């Protein structure tokens, strides 16, 4: 399937490539190798001095040991970030896959040399730990150390931890990489006007946003046919990873498939249950909107591939420079500080946006290390949705940039807060577009676009979470699952959201096969719903407080993962542990649907 002669064109962001020299100037290999050597040597020295002695350290010595760990891990994290980005930029180049594998293997050696630290720390008895944590010398590390101790019931012995880490390179991580390589190399044959065009995954997904129903239909058919062609291997990857997780969950005594994710998200399971339930109670709202959409499109029936059809006049493709101007202007309206940070991504080549064969699909912002800066990957095709994706990833980028001051260990937030600045950024762009637009038809198109994005971020992600729950439970009770069984679970999870307002075709049954979150980070998806509803609450604060809100918001971003989400949000007066909190966000989505109905003259 390595089709070097693919027709894929670079699209509207031709030439917009990132410059990875800030991580390693070319040729990178020698410097990267030196970093890995240095990290491994430092890790072994650290182990020589501290192994078997962590329980005996006083607060000051414990703080110094963590500082030392953070410093020694940074070069290894830099190498890993670089290898990951180079692989994402071209997954088809064998040298990039080999580099990623090498960095992972050497990263495991570093990890295994110092894993004793965490194991010895969580083994310290509670009273002694509490006394240490009360010491001002550990104030900056209190959250980190407490967070580690939550894993106390789930850690294994040192030799077991080392085995799991090392074998993951040829197990879990290898299958995850295989998934990326297959989808990046896949070509989807779109039939149009008697001719066949070979598309990448990005291009074929973009067709689902086309105003022409025949083109959407052709895109959907091509996506299905392409996925079916690879279904055997992709489903094998799913089955393997789902069982790998079941095995690890059993060994680590996690009570259910979501438990490990809740722990790393620093969220109580009952808060997640409240979030999911609040979203599911709003399914009638989703269906009410889809009935309006069917009427606006003038269709007898709304099919799955009609959900993203634009409402109203077809808007032309947005040139890259225009997308940049628009996003930066929207950021500047809110905060010049945020706009200045986002602007650097363009000026200093921290973005890779053109389409290229072999490039990873989708979009992301990678935080890298505190001594460098984040990098953003997009596949820019010029749709309105792509403009929002740019705003989204720059939100992540600005968040990661500001949180660098928390250091390597606490710069990253748990997933529950990871989608805050990204979704907030999208909202800023939406509001600016709406403010500048007086024509009711165009306003309607904008509001519909926002509703559909929000539905994809809230309700669709809740559906995906339910699908994952069913998938993991079915694999645990039924053994390896046939493709048809997984497809049936996917349809079962999707039906309650769409009801009788959208007809899901048989083709749609195959569309779980390309969702990377299921493969790379199980149970990631509810974090999107959390993020979107949280952002709606933040916007309400902003509207009430005006500019006084801005520095408080920037403080939230700067805090990174230095405290639990509920603690950071409490500083802004938000209580995410209150089940009613989520109802407030859903109510704001209902207002948007009402606005669409009003503009449509319903």
Question: Any contact of residue 400 with Zn ion (CB under 5 A)?
Answer: no
Name which of 112 and 422 has its Cβ closer to Zn ion. Answer: 422
Does the N-terminal peptide bond of residue 27 adopt cis geometry, omega within 30 degrees of 0? yes
Q: What is the 3-state secondary structure (H, E, C) of 313-331?
A: CCCCCCCHHHHHHHHHHHH
| Interface stretch with Zn ion, choices 108-116, 324-332, 421-429, 445-453 (CB under 5 A) | 421-429
- Dist. CA 368–CA 427, nearest whole Å: 26
Question: Any contact of residue 413 with Zn ion (CB under 5 A)?
Answer: no
Name which of 368 and 422 has its Cβ closer to Zn ion. Answer: 422
Query: What is the Cα 418 distance to its own chain's centre?
Result: 8
How far apart are CB 66 and Zn ion at their closest, in Å? 29
Name which of 178 and 366 has its Cβ closer to Zn ion. Answer: 366
How far apart are CB 418 and Zn ion at their closest, in Å? 7
- Dist. CA 310–CA 368, nearest whole Å: 36
Name which of 381 and 422 has its Cβ closer to Zn ion. Answer: 422
How far apart are CB 422 and Zn ion at their closest, in Å? 4
Number of helices (H) and strands (E) in the chain: give both, helices first: 25, 5
Name which of 32 and 81 has its Cβ closer to Zn ion. Answer: 81
Name which of 20 and 418 has its Cβ closer to Zn ion. Answer: 418
Question: Any contact of residue 461 with Zn ion (CB under 5 A)?
Answer: no
Alpha-helical segments (H) within 168-212: 172-185, 201-206
| Interface stretch with Zn ion, choices 264-272, 295-303, 414-422, 444-452 (CB under 5 A) | 414-422
Nearest Cα residue to 284 out of 497, 585, 504, 533 = 497
How far apart are CB 403 and Zn ion at their closest, in Å? 15
How far apart are CB 485 and Zn ion at their closest, in Å? 30
- Dist. CA 147–CA 413, nearest whole Å: 12
> Is residue 468 within 8 Å of 518, Cβ to Cβ?
yes
| Interface stretch with Zn ion, choices 27-35, 37-45, 312-320, 416-424 (CB under 5 A) | 416-424
Please give the size of the binding site for Zn ion, defined by CB under 5 A: 1
> Is residue 559 within 8 Å of 294, Cβ to Cβ?
no
DSSP characters for 522-587? TT-THHHHHHHHHHHHHHHHHHHHGGGHHHHHHHHHHTTTSS-HHHHHHTTT--TTSTHHHHHHHH
Q: What angle do CA 494, 495, 496 make, to 5 degrees?
A: 100
300 to 319: interface string for Zn ion, x by CB under 5 A = --------------------
Question: Residue number with the shortest CB distance to Zn ion?
Answer: 422
How far apart are CB 527 and Zn ion at their closest, in Å? 9
| Interface stretch with Zn ion, choices 42-50, 119-127, 422-430, 445-453 (CB under 5 A) | 422-430
- Dist. CA 219–CA 278, nearest whole Å: 33
Question: Any contact of residue 324 with Zn ion (CB under 5 A)?
Answer: no
Name which of 43 and 275 has its Cβ closer to Zn ion. Answer: 275
Name which of 87 and 364 has its Cβ closer to Zn ion. Answer: 364
Name which of 406 and 422 has its Cβ closer to Zn ion. Answer: 422
- Dist. CA 401–CA 368, nearest whole Å: 10
| Interface stretch with Zn ion, choices 275-283, 290-298, 417-425, 511-519 (CB under 5 A) | 417-425
The three-class DSSP label of residue 90 is coil
Which phi and psi (to 5°) does residue 361 adopt? -75, 175
- Dist. CA 572–CA 369, nearest whole Å: 28
- Dist. CA 96–CA 94, nearest whole Å: 5
> Is residue 279 within 8 Å of 459, Cβ to Cβ?
yes
How far apart are CB 413 and Zn ion at their closest, in Å? 12
Q: Is the dihedral angle over the CA atoms 353, 355, 358, 362 positive or is it negative?
A: positive
End-to-end Cα spacing for the chain: 50
For residues 307, 310, 311 and 316, what is the CA-based torsion angle, rounded to 10 degrees? 180
Name which of 417 and 481 has its Cβ closer to Zn ion. Answer: 417
How far apart are CB 201 and Zn ion at their closest, in Å? 18
Where in 213-272 is the site for Zn ion (CB under 5 A)?
Answer: none
| Interface stretch with Zn ion, choices 66-74, 136-144, 225-233, 415-423 (CB under 5 A) | 415-423
How far apart are CB 13 and Zn ion at their closest, in Å? 19
Where in 106-135 is the site for Zn ion (CB under 5 A)?
Answer: none
How far apart are CB 180 and Zn ion at their closest, in Å? 17
How far apart are CB 365 and Zn ion at their closest, in Å? 7
Q: At how many degrees (to 10) do helices 580-599 and 440-457 cross?
A: 150
Would strands 195-199 and 188-192 be described as parallel, antiparallel, or unpaired? antiparallel
- Dist. CA 508–CA 487, nearest whole Å: 9
Among residues 91, 200, 335, 422, the one that binds Zn ion under rule CB under 5 A: 422
How far apart are CB 323 and Zn ion at their closest, in Å? 17
| Interface stretch with Zn ion, choices 161-169, 263-271, 418-426, 581-589 (CB under 5 A) | 418-426
How far apart are CB 453 and Zn ion at their closest, in Å? 12
Name which of 79 and 425 has its Cβ closer to Zn ion. Answer: 425
| Interface stretch with Zn ion, choices 23-31, 420-428, 458-466, 532-540 (CB under 5 A) | 420-428
- Dist. CA 197–CA 7, nearest whole Å: 8
Name which of 8 and 353 has its Cβ closer to Zn ion. Answer: 353
Name which of 422 and 562 has its Cβ closer to Zn ion. Answer: 422
How far apart are CB 396 and Zn ion at their closest, in Å? 6
Q: Is the dihedral angle over the CA atoms 429, 463, 355, 237 positive or is it negative?
A: positive
Q: Is the dihedral angle over the CA atoms 133, 137, 143, 146 positive or is it negative?
A: negative
Name which of 108 and 422 has its Cβ closer to Zn ion. Answer: 422
Binding site for Zn ion (CB under 5 A): 422
């Amino acid at each position: 399937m390595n089709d070097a002669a693919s027709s894929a064109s670079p699209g509207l962001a031709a030439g917009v490539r990132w410059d990875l020299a800030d991580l390693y100037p070319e040729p990178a290999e020698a410097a990267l190798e030196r970093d890995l050597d240095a990290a491994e040597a430092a890790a072994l020295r650290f182990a020589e001095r501290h192994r078997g002695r962590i329980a005996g350290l006083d607060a000051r010595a414990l703080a110094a040991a963590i500082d030392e760990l953070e410093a020694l891990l940074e070069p290894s994290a830099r190498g890993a970030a670089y290898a990951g980005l180079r692989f994402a930029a071209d997954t088809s180049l064998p040298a990039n896959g080999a580099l990623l594998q090498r960095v992972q293997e050497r990263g495991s050696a570093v990890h295994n040399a110092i894993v004793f630290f965490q194991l010895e720390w969580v083994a310290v008895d509670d009273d002694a730990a509490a006394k240490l944590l009360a010491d001002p010398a550990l104030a900056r590390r209190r959250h980190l150390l407490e967070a580690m101790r939550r894993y106390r019931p789930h850690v294994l012995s040192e030799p077991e931890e080392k085995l799991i880490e090392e074998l993951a390179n040829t197990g879990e991580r290898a299958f995850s990489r295989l998934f990326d390589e297959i989808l990046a190399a896949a070509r989807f044959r779109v039939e149009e006007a008697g001719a066949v065009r070979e598309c990448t995954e990005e291009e074929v997904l973009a067709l689902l946003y086309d105003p022409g129903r025949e083109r959407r239909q052709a895109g959907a058919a091509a996506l299905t046919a392409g996925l079916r062609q690879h279904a055997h291997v992709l489903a094998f990857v799913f089955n393997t990873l789902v069982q790998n997780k079941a095995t690890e969950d059993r060994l680590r005594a996690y009570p259910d498939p979501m438990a490990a994710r809740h722990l790393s998200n620093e969220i109580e399971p009952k808060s997640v249950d409240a979030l999911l339930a609040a979203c599911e109670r709003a399914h009638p709202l989703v269906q009410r909107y889809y009935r309006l959409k069917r009427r606006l499109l003038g269709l007898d029936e709304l099919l799955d591939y009609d959900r993203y059809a634009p409402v109203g006049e077809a808007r032309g493709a947005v040139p890259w420079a225009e997308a940049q101007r628009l996003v930066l202007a929207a950021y500047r309206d809110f905060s010049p500080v945020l706009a200045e940070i986002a602007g650097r991504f363009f000026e200093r080549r921290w973005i890779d946006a053109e389409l290229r064969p072999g490039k990873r699909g989708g979009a992301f912002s990678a935080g890298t290390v505190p001594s460098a800066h984040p990098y953003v990957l997009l596949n820019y095709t010029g749709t309105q949705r792509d403009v929002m994706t740019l705003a989204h990833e720059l939100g992540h980028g600005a968040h990661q940039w500001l949180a660098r001051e928390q250091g390597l260990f606490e710069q990253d937030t748990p997933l529950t807060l990871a989608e805050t600045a990204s979704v907030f950024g999208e909202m800023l762009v939406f509001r600016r577009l709406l403010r500048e637009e007086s024509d009711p038809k165009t306003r309607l198109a904008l509001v519909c676009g926002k509703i559909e994005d929000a539905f994809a971020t809230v309700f669709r992600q809740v559906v995906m979470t339910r699908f994952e729950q069913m998938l993991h439970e079915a694999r645990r009770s039924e053994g390896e699952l046939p493709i048809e069984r997984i497809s049936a679970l996917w349809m079962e999870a999707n039906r309650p959201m769409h009801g009788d307002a959208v007809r899901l075709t048989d083709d749609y049954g195959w569309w779980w096969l390309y969702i990377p979150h299921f493969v790379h980070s199980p149970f990631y998806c509810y974090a999107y719903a959390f993020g979107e509803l949280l952002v709606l609450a933040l916007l309400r604060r902003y509207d009430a407080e005006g500019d006084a809100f801005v520095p408080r918001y920037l403080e939230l971003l700067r805090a990174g993962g230095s405290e639990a989400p509920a603690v950071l949000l409490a500083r802004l007066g938000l209580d995410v542990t209150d089940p009613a909190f989520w109802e407030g966000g859903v109510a704001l989505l209902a207002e948007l649907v009402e606005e669409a109905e009003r503009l449509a003259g319903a």
